[in-house]
Amino acid sequence: MDKIIDLGTYIEKGINALESHLSFLWSAIDDGISWTVESMNDGLLAIPFWIIITLIALLGYYLSAGKKSFTREGFKKELALPASPFWVLS
């Protein structure tokens, strides 16, 4: 089957043109992404792991319990045991 339009060649030429004419833009984007990743890495390594685990657990509790999660009613709703738990063999 003959190629009617050699699409791969045109795409390759377009990408090469973007690389040669907008190299300053790509390097600026690369520097910005590198800075963001390094800053996030430094920030996460500065916090002890047990604080991060506690914050994630509290966030999960808040998302499951709703707006009243840290009130007395919220704790009663989320932490209350059923009247007959399945682990009691009576």
* pLDDT of amino acid 90: 47
Torsional sign, CA 52, 58, 60, 62: negative
In this prediction, residue 67 carries a pLDDT of 73
Q: Mean pLDDT in runs of 10 for the chain (90 residues)?
A: 79 90 91 96 92 90 75 67 53
- What H or E segment, with its residue span, contains residue 76? helix 72-79
Cβ neighbours for 52, distance < 8 A, ≥ 6 positions apart: 44
First to last CA, the chain: 77
Closest CA to 8 of 23, 16, 84, 35: 16
